[in-house]
Structure 1
Amino acid sequence: MTSKQDYITKLKLETHPEGGWFKETYHSDDKYYAAESNCERYRYTSILFLLDGNNPSHFHRLNHDELWFYHDGKNIVVHCIYPNGEYKAIKLGNDIGNDEVPQFMVPKGTIFASSVDKKADFALVSCVVAPGFDYSDFELMHKADLLKCYPNLNNIINRLALD
């Protein structure tokens, strides 16, 4: 069985600003003008992304869709706050009999975070953003701002948002 440290070392994963470890693996050969970014973007970008029970992906928002693909480890939960305020927790994994799905798309404009159970060693996924990811299209959300807008979600916000 491949360990968390094996993946981090052999895949040359680095720490990610939102939490966990990542490495960009692919992007399109060409770029185009993306109106919602008001500049050029790759048509897509792809990363490998690893989380563990102590390193969640904190709440953030993108202005492009993001596809998630499960690979290995324990299941990962993608916590979504949709633009209409609705909250959903999607379990990404291989146990489809336990309501897990092997892939999931986070729509643009959705505030989301991801977590692995504290007792779990890790989860490895891939994420594809189209148009391609750029940090200028990324908004890291803060606890105080989220609690003002979504006080009914205080437990999950307090657990997965940065101060």
Structure 2
Amino acid sequence: MLVISIQADYIKNLELQKHPEGGWFKETYHSDDQYFAKESNGMRYRYTSILFLLDYNHPSHFHRLNHDELWFYHDGQSISVHCIFPDGKYKEIKLGKNVANGEVLQYRVPKETIFASEVRNKGAFGLVSCVVAPGFDYHDFELLKRNDLNSKYPNLKTLIDRLAN
């Protein structure tokens, strides 16, 4: 199938590796300098950037960052970004090229938002770039548990069961 071939080509040629939250990634850039980020209580790059590829069987599981993350669509099917904002409100953002149908080419996930992402079509993939500022560090990353999310957001159980560990 052509889509699987294109996805495999991206993974190979972009040298993408498995990401702990799901999908494949490669860090592509970070600022030359670092500074003390108060909200992280540590030194951080001013920004970091990755290429990130998801497919139907490999979503990005629910997690939270203490910094904003910008997503930029590149190729493949649209990606649904499921956000649970700090006030408890839920919103699905569709990242993709069909802007006439409500998709967006880029989106900012605000800091402290719980979010997960997925490609909804079997056999499909989506390729994006993600930029975090201040730069990504695993100390600023929290992978959330299914039971904890279900107890706090029972109205989102179906979504949480699909996209949380």
- Deviation at 1:125? 0.1
Query: What is the distance in 1 between the residues matched to 2:42 and 2:18?
Result: 27
Q: Does 1:147 align with 2:150?
A: yes
Overall identity of the aligned pairs, in %: 68
Count of aligned residue pairs for this structure pair: 162
What is the SS of the residue equivalent to 2:88?
coil
Preserved CA contact (<8 Å) 1:74 1:120: no
Structure 1: where are the runs of 5+ without partners?
none
SS at match of 1:66: strand
Q: CA RMSD in A?
A: 1.0
When structure 1 is superposed on structure 2, of 118-127 and 148-157 the one drifting more is 118-127
- Secondary structure of the residue aligned to 2:93 is strand
Matching residue's letter, 2:16? L
**In the alignment, residue 15 of structure 2 is paired with which amino acid?**
K
Matched, 1:10 2:13: yes
Superposed CA deviations along residues 77-101 of structure 1, whole A, max 9, x for unmatched, are 0000000100000000010011100
* Distance in 2 of aligned mates of 1:102 and 1:19: 21
One-letter code aligned to 2:103: E
Q: Which residue of 1 aligns with 2:63?
A: 60
Matching residue's letter, 1:55: H
TM-score of the pair, normalised by structure 2: 0.96
Aligned to 2:24: 21
Question: What is the distance in 1 between the residues matched to 2:52 and 2:109?
Answer: 15
The ranges of structure 1 where at least 4 consecutive aligned residues each deviate by more than 2 angstroms after the TM superposition are none
Partner of residue 83 from structure 2, selected from 72, 80, 85: 80
Of the three residues 31, 34, 37, the one matched with 2:37 is: 34
Q: Distance in 2 between matches of 1:114 and 1:125?
A: 11
Paired residue secondary structure (2:148): helix
Render the CA deviation track for 1:52-83: whole Å, top value 9, x for unaligned.
00000000000000000000000000000000
Residue 115 of structure 2 corresponds to which residue in structure 1? 112
**Which residue matches 1:129?**
132
Cα distance in structure 1, aligned partners of 2:122 and 2:30: 34
TM-score for both structures, normalised by structure 1: 0.97
CA apart distance, 1:118: 3.5
Report the AA paired with residue 20 of structure 2: P
